[in-house]
């Protein structure tokens, strides 16, 4: 399916699951995932989980600072530098945020650091372009996990919302994960999301961002919709709840929407 449009046919139900967020799930060889670390703070337990599930890891410019600083000079139980266990495959961007000491550290570890001066694309887009080049060589599409990008600067947050909305046309699965949420775009059509209640919940939302309006029908939520119109200017399902007894949430939408679910805290 690589290189073709990812839009679903009208009768197809797209299946989603987030078992990769559960540290107990064994890594499956059939799904390749790429991690793109953005310039936003994230906690170590979350990094450990998303790092393990991805086979290609890239830092978008100042994302390299976040990775470097989070790991600090901590040692593993064997006395190894923790930082040495989290060496990305690439750092890319306009490099106006990557600090010199971080650049020197990762350079010394052999990480390619690509300076892309394009002033019409963001560091996030530059990293996706690098992944696309890799995919062309390998002939395989990766699922993407962006770490960060939904909080902080409003222009960057809206850019993330818009960019994933557009990526739905060419890619199958793209997720954004922050310390509080996992979120992704559901294209128009029918979706079934397997809910791991140990990882997700209790709150969730269906967000009509970037569209005039959509008609929504859902099951498995505390407040379901039944062919109702949802729009930015009208009804939006925020602060909805997953139902502990329900293993799946189903969503039928006439236009693309953002779906988000709260991540359960691990402390």
Ligand X SMILES: Nc1ncnc2c1ncn2[C@@H]1O[C@H](COP(=O)(O)OP(=O)(O)OP(=O)(O)O)[C@@H](O)[C@H]1O
Ligand Y SMILES: Cc1ncc(C[n+]2csc(CCO)c2C)c(N)n1
Write out the residues near ligand Y by the rule CB under 6 A: 94, 119-123
Sheet holding 257-263, edge to edge: 113-115, 90-93, 56-60, 33-37, 143-147, 174-177, 181-186, 257-263, 200-207, 237-241
Q: Least distance (Å) from ligand Y to the CB of residue 94?
A: 4
> Which positions from 95 to 134 touch ligand X by CB under 6 A, shown as an x/- string?
-xx------------------------xxx----------
> Which positions from 141 to 180 touch ligand X by CB under 6 A, shown as an x/- string?
-------xx--xx--xx-----------------------
Give the 3-state secondary structure of residue 135: helix
Please, which of residues 183-222 interact with ligand X by CB under 6 A?
A: none
- 60 close to 94: Cβ distance less than 8 angstroms: no
Q: Which of 231, 37, 256 is nearest to 168 (CA)?
A: 256
Interaction of residue 62 with ligand X, rule CB under 6 A: yes
* Burial annotation 31-45 (CB, 10 A radius, 16+ → b, else e): eebbbbbbbbebeee
152 binds, among ligand X, ligand Y, none (CB under 5 to 8 A by kind): ligand X
Residues in the chain: 267
When the beta carbons of 9 and 119 are compared against ligand Y, the nearer one is: 119
d(CA 70, CA 147): 13
60 binds, among ligand Y, ligand X, none (CB under 5 to 8 A by kind): ligand X
Interaction of residue 224 with ligand X, rule CB under 6 A: no
Of 33, 34, 35, 39, the residue at the interface with ligand X (CB under 6 A) is: 39
120 binds, among ligand Y, ligand X, none (CB under 5 to 8 A by kind): ligand Y
């Amino acid at each position: 399916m690589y290189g073709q449009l990812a839009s679903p046919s009208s009768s197809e139900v797209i299946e989603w699951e987030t078992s990769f967020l559960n540290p107990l799930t064994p890594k499956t060889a059939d799904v390749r995932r790429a991690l793109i670390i953005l310039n936003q703070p994230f906690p170590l337990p979350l990094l450990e989980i998303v790092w393990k599930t991805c086979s290609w890891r890239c830092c978008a410019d100042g994302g390299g600072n976040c990775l470097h600083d989070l790991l600090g000079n901590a040692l593993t139980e064997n006395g190894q530098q923790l930082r040495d266990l989290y060496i990305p495959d690439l750092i890319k961007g306009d490099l106006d945020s990557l600090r010199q000491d971080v650049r020197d550290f990762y350079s010394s570890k052999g990480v390619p650091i690509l300076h892309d001066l394009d002033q019409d694309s963001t560091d996030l887009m530059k990293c996706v372009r690098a992944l696309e080049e890799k995919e062309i060589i390998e002939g395989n599409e990766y699922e993407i996990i962006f770490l960060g990008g939904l909080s902080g600067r409003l222009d960057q947050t809206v850019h993330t919302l818009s960019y994933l909305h557009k990526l739905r046309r060419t890619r199958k699965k793209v997720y954004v994960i922050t310390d509080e949420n996992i979120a992704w775009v559901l294209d128009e059509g029918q979706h079934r999301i397997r809910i791991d209640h140990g990882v997700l919940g209790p709150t969730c939302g269906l967000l009509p961002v970037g569209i005039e309006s959509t008609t929504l029908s859902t099951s498995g939520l505390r407040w379901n919709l039944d062919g109702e119109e949802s729009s930015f200017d009208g009804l939006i399902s925020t602060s909805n709840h997953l139902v502990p007894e329900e293993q799946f949430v189903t969503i039928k939408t006439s236009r693309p929407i953002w779906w988000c679910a709260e991540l359960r805290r691990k402390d």
